[in-house]
Amino acid sequence: LPYEHPQDVNFSFDGPFGTWDYGQLQRGYKVYKEVCSACHSLKFVALRNLGELGYTEAQVKAEAATWTVPGIDPNTGEASTRPGEPTDYFPKPYPNNVAAAAANNNAIPPDLSLITKARADGTNYVASLLTGYRPPSEELLAEHPEAAPGPGLYHNVYFPNMNLAMAPPLTSNGQVTYDDGTEATIGQMATDVAAFLTWTAEPTLVKRKQTGWPVLIFVLFATILAWFSKTQIWAAVK
Ligand code: HEM
């Protein structure tokens, strides 16, 4: 099917000099928390990792406590729940895949920790997918009748088979209230959560890029040094 390639969105972490925009990562975290976490887990990320997004230790503790994680009732020893602590991992929305599939028209919402790595051009793909819901065009249906969404499926121009089991999760401007006053348009929320999910997939992305520069400078220096020592060593040979 003629699905579209992701749009090229501008991100602060693009390119060799890329850096995180911590305000954006915090906004994206809020979108994940208030919207995506209803269905998608983030199982490789610990709540303490939020400390890397510019929150203070006290804020991380308070933020962790807003999540409910599985625990044990200290009085009865029965399975129970308790507020999260920084050492906990992000809790999963469903107890298992059967429950996840049952709640989502038989499709299991994938874990989002690594999704921006698992899909080609993943950051742009996530941002595009969230804003790519529109009804199939007449021309498309004329050529590909199978592109019509079946029951419980939603048409999306960026999804490879063009129909997926995820209803549009971002549906109205202001769906999330940003703490920094940024206007929460659908496009803004999609971009911010895509940035956040890029951080979850590769928290060391910026460090990796920054490490490259001293390495290149050292290699250049070592090459020049090697050149001069070579000319010295062989100076006597005519
Ligand atoms: C699939 C992101 C909210 C249910 C996906 C995929 C991504 C994604 C990237 C994978 C698409 C692929 O396989 O390439 C998000 C984000 C959300 C969000 C960033 C929040 C802004 C939700 C919510 C629900 C949901 C709230 C449930 C009500 C699903 C399901 C699938 C899916 C069932 C599997 C679809 C299929 O394979 O047909 N989501 N999602 N998502 N999502 Fe979400």
CB 189 within 8 A of CB 170: yes
Q: What is the pLDDT of residues 116-157, one digit of tens each?
A: 999 999 999 999 999 999 999 999 999 999 999 999 999 999
Residue to probe by mutation, ligand 1, list 30, 40, 97, most atoms within 8 Å of CB? 40
Residue 205 has pLDDT above 90, yes or no: yes
Residue 80 has pLDDT above 90, yes or no: yes
Q: Which residue has the least CA distance to atom 12 on ligand 1?
A: 159
What is the predicted pLDDT for the residue at 165? 95
- 126 Cα nearest atom in ligand 1: 9
DSSP string, 184-214: --HHHHHHHHHHHHHHHH-TTHHHHHHHHHH
User: CA 2, CA 142: separation in Å to the nearest integer?
Assistant: 13
CB 62 within 8 A of CB 17: no
CB 126 within 8 A of CB 115: yes
Q: Which residue has the least CA distance to atom 35 on ligand 1?
A: 165
User: CA 48, CA 40: separation in Å to the nearest integer?
Assistant: 19
67 C-alpha to ligand 1 centroid (Å): 20
Say what the ipTM of the complex is: 0.98
Locus of tokens 């299991």: 108
Question: How does strand 154-155 pair with strand 163-164?
Answer: antiparallel
User: CA 109, CA 119: separation in Å to the nearest integer?
Assistant: 15
Residue 238 has pLDDT above 90, yes or no: no
pTM, entire model: 0.94
DSSP string, 95-145: SSHHHHHHHTTTPPPPP-TTHHHHSTTHHHHHHHHHT-B-PPPHHHHHH-G
Q: Which residue has the least CA distance to atom 27 on ligand 1?
A: 39
Residues contacting 18, CB < 8 A, separation 6+: 11, 12, 205, 206, 209
Q: Coil, strand, or helix at residue 225?
A: helix
Q: Which residue has the least CA distance to atom 5 on ligand 1?
A: 109
167 C-alpha to ligand 1 centroid (Å): 8
- 105 Cα nearest atom in ligand 1: 33
Residue list, ligand 1 pocket, CB within 6 Å: 31, 35-36, 38-40, 104, 107, 109-110, 115, 119, 126, 129-130, 164-166, 169-170, 193
Mean pLDDT of the chain: 96
User: CA 140, CA 163: separation in Å to the nearest integer?
Assistant: 13
101: left (phi over 0), alpha (psi -120 to 50) or beta: alpha
Q: Which residue has the least CA distance to atom 22 on ligand 1?
A: 36
Q: What is the pLDDT of residues 6-63, one digit of tens each?
A: 999 999 999 999 999 999 999 999 999 999 999 999 999 999 999 999 999 999 999 9
